[in-house]
Amino acid sequence: MSTYNAPWCRALKIVSAVATVILLGVMALPVPGACWVRLFPLAVLAGALPFVVRGYEIREDTLLIRRLFWDTRIGLAGLRSARFDPSAMRGSLRTCGNGGLFSITGWYWNKQLGAYRAYATDMARVVVLTFDKRRIVVTPEDPEAFVQELSAGLPR
């Protein structure tokens, strides 16, 4: 069992901080008769915060994505390859998910990867996990060690 932190890149820190300030600022605006306008920014923050990616843990047959209050489990059966590729997410379109409020998570698509699922915090540390029928992107603190550990368990 190995654990890897999920450090935030500068852009994620800036986007998260600016968005939080704006959302909290909107909550402070006087809006007579429209209580929901004040609650909406709080709902956005409360909805995004639990999905933050704190780190990754590799177990024998499972990758755990450490969230704020729970872990997302990804079975490693069918893993064909793991590769470190900082350019893999370039040109991606978000089809459903969060593009930078505390994390970059959800479903994405680009020409290089096709459809994939992202659990990311730093675009300079992108690791692409290719399975039989899906692709997953993670961003561990030490992507080369992460790839080496996962690759050691792959059939030759």
Q: Would you state the pLDDT for residue 60? A: 85
Q: pLDDT tens digits for 41-68?
A: 889 999 999 999 999 999 989 999 999 9
Phi, psi of 46 (to 5 degrees): -65, -30
Model confidence at 106: pLDDT above 70: yes
Structurally, the chain folds into a number of domains equal to 1
Model confidence at 33: pLDDT above 70: no
71 and 111 Cβ atoms separated by less than 8 Å: no
Model confidence at 155: pLDDT above 70: no
Phi, psi of 103 (to 5 degrees): -175, 170
93 and 108 Cβ atoms separated by less than 8 Å: yes
- Residue 152's domain comprises 1-156
- CA pair distance 126, 78, nearest whole angstrom: 20
